[in-house]
């Protein structure tokens, strides 16, 4: 398996990158879903600035600028502490999965592709075990 590399998106490229990956869906559907799920999974989450990352397999995820470790409680019964990067991956995977079931075919296709790209990255992550347990 080829190693997937995450690259921080520079501030001036945030808008073009989100348009490239998600078209008009990012500000209206995807970003709000990510913030909602972050609040749902982490009782202590009160909002934060989020860094954007692109993946060498054309994926995308966000990481909040919050203290570590992050305590999460997931719908599937998983409870644990993860790094803020793992939290961002988990939250984005939740959002992509949820939105992939929408009736909007374009949004469904985009989020399904991003879920799988991010999952491949998660499989190589140092916290792959907790990430997969949280999203299973």
Model pLDDT, residue 135: 97
| pLDDT given for residue 65 in this prediction | 97
Q: Is 57 domain-assigned? A: yes
Q: Which burial class, exposed, middle or buried, applies to 128 when counting CB atoms under 10 A from its CB (0-12, 13-18, 19+)?
A: middle
For the chain, how many structural domains are there in total? Answer: 1
Per residue in 65-102, pLDDT (tens digit) is 999 999 999 999 999 999 999 999 999 999 999 999 99
Nearest residue to 133 (alpha-carbon basis) of 78, 58, 57: 78
Band of the pLDDT at 57, cuts 50, 70, 90?
Answer: very high
pLDDT value at residue 55: 98
Does 1 reside within a domain? no
Residue 108, pLDDT score: 97
Indicate whether 107 belongs to any domain: yes
Percentage, residues of the chain above pLDDT 90: 97
């Amino acid at each position: 398996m080829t190693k997937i590399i995450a690259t921080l998106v520079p501030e001036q490229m945030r808008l073009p990158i989100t348009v490239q990956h998600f078209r008009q869906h990012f500000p209206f559907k995807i970003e709000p879903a990510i913030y909602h799920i972050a609040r749902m999974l982490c009782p202590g989450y009160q909002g934060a600035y989020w860094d954007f990352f692109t993946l060498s397999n054309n994926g995308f995820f966000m990481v909040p600028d919050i203290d570590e470790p992050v305590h999460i409680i997931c719908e599937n019964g998983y409870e644990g502490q993860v790094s803020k990067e793992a939290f961002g991956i988990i939250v984005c995977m939740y959002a992509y999965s949820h939105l992939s079931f929408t009736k909007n075919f374009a949004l469904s296709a985009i989020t399904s592709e991003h879920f799988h790209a991010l999952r491949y990255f998660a499989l190589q992550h140092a916290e792959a075990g907790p990430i997969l347990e949280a999203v299973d």
